[in-house]
Structure 1
């Protein structure tokens, strides 16, 4: 299962980023506008990662003006953490969770409609903006257009919880590659929290993934409390996702 996830992690950025190889590490560099990517272990690399390799990647990230960030799975590449920390980066741990069997049912929140949002949908802009508001981050110009292009290309599926006016109060995505997909960016605007919107959006994404033949659905929870929430849908923790940043 972890090998399938590693293959997915290597594949999914390549739809909008170029890959630069640094021996045991691969740096993904965003092509055009969009969220900057990160470095991660080269697919198939086994064993330790030298500190010098991490330093070379960080130097390249500084040259490009992108965040000095690394993402990997602790159990798959156990030797990377020591090398990353030796260069002064801070490492954060997050539960890596996989859906077991079919998702457990969750109630649709009262007063909201939870559904998939298309590329030409009137709800697209608010569905794209909701997770940014949830994490108190600005929406970069052109983000809705880029998401619409990815939806049209089949690279992204977007779901949202909409009020009676058609405005999204929570949203999230899954990004299928073959028979594997990751649920990402699920967020609820602060004023609408504690109504089950995020969980309902996740359930809609999972249902969509299953309906399109996806076999493996996974996600990364921000912490143990959020992991328990996803556990109500049938997700279980199988490993630890690590994110390093300056």
Structure 2
């Protein structure tokens, strides 16, 4: 059950979600009850979400208009929002043909942080030679979601890191680190990055994002160690609210051991996989 204090905290997260894309270089396009954030220049694509402070609920037609604009721009047809803040949006996006994923939304309890530093985890600066591998690891991790051991390991990471696209990602994240817009931590064994993640600070609030472990290196406490390092660095920089969206309930339990507690549900909507596949084939 979500408490009154949690609801107040969710209002703060709502402001964060509206502000973070703007500080990250995105422009906001107004669609009434919805706002579409569009990345300017080089950078990861953003999402559409409920407009901050807009009372009327979004309709199926509103969602369809945003989807049409996303297709026009060639960006992902993605919507993200907090279920407790905008409960009616789910019916609208599903009515417009999107599939909704639910993720536990968790906030760090500052009185319950109890994970010691991991000896293989460190923060990376913008010039670190392992940064390219660090921004590539989550791609392999999220391609095989969950907490079970998998096949992808150092060999697959080396191949993925050689892709020119990983160089562009590295340059983008390096700029964000240099500008104070991101912090990156990695678990390193020898010269191999086994796990990595980031946090994105906006004022005194930060979101932990993209924590992923090479599937072959799972179940060694590396994700907890990376998250703990990100939390420690964020708090040292004056952040007072740290939150994240867990992949599923199993992952949420792992974060609970660090000191995060569930305060709500983050919803992400996107086209069904078969629709995405059809669009990719049409583009070839």
| 8 A contact 1:124–1:144 mirrored in 2 | yes
Aligned residues: 243
Q: Does 1:226 align with 2:251?
A: yes
Counterpart-to-counterpart distance in 1, 2:170 and 2:71: 28
Corresponding position of 2:218: 193
In the alignment, what sits opposite 2:40? 31
Shift of 1:68: 1.2
CA RMSD for the aligned pairs? 1.6
Question: Which SS does the other structure have where 1:232 is aligned?
Answer: helix
Aligned twin of 1:4: 12
Question: Is 1:124 aligned with 2:150?
Answer: no
Structure 2 gaps of 5+ residues are 1-8, 145-159, 272-284
Question: In the superposition, relative to structure 1, how do residues 197 and 245 fare at CA in structure 2: closer, same or farther (>3 Å)?
Answer: same
- Residue 156 of structure 1: aligned partner: 182
- Rounded to whole Å, the distance in 1 between the matches of 2:100 and 2:185 is 30
Q: 1:72-221 alignment to 2 at 5 Å?
A: 72-102=81-111, 104-106=113-115, 113-136=120-143, 140=165, 141-165=167-191, 167-221=192-246
Superposition deviation, residue 34 in structure 1? 2.9
Question: Retained in 2: the 8 A contact 1:48–1:78?
Answer: no
Question: Offset of 1:45 from its aligned partner?
Answer: 1.9
- Change in 2 beyond 3 A, CA 1:151/1:102: farther
Deviations 1:83-106 (A, max 9, x none): 111111111111000011245333
Structure 1 residue 65: Cα displacement:
1.4
- Map of 2:279 onto structure 1: none
**Structure 1 consecutive aligned stretches of length 4 or more whose deviation exceeds 6 Å:** none
Q: How far, CA to CA, are the matches of 1:3 and 1:25 in structure 2?
A: 17
Aligned residue for 1:135, secondary structure, equals helix
TM-score norm. by structure 2 comes to 0.82
The structure whose residues are more often strand, as a share, is: 1
Larger helix share, 1 or 2: 2
Match of 1:238 in 2: 263
Query: Offset at 1:213?
Result: 1.2
- For the pair 1:60 / 2:69, whether they are aligned, the reply is yes
Gaps of 5+ in 1: none
Return the alpha-carbon distance in structure 2 between the equivalents of residues 25 and 37 of structure 1: 13
Contact 2:117/2:228 (<8 A) preserved: no
How far apart in 2 are the matches of 1:97 and 1:46? 25
Q: Distance in 2 between matches of 1:69 and 1:169?
A: 29
Cα deviation for residue 194 of structure 1 reads 0.7
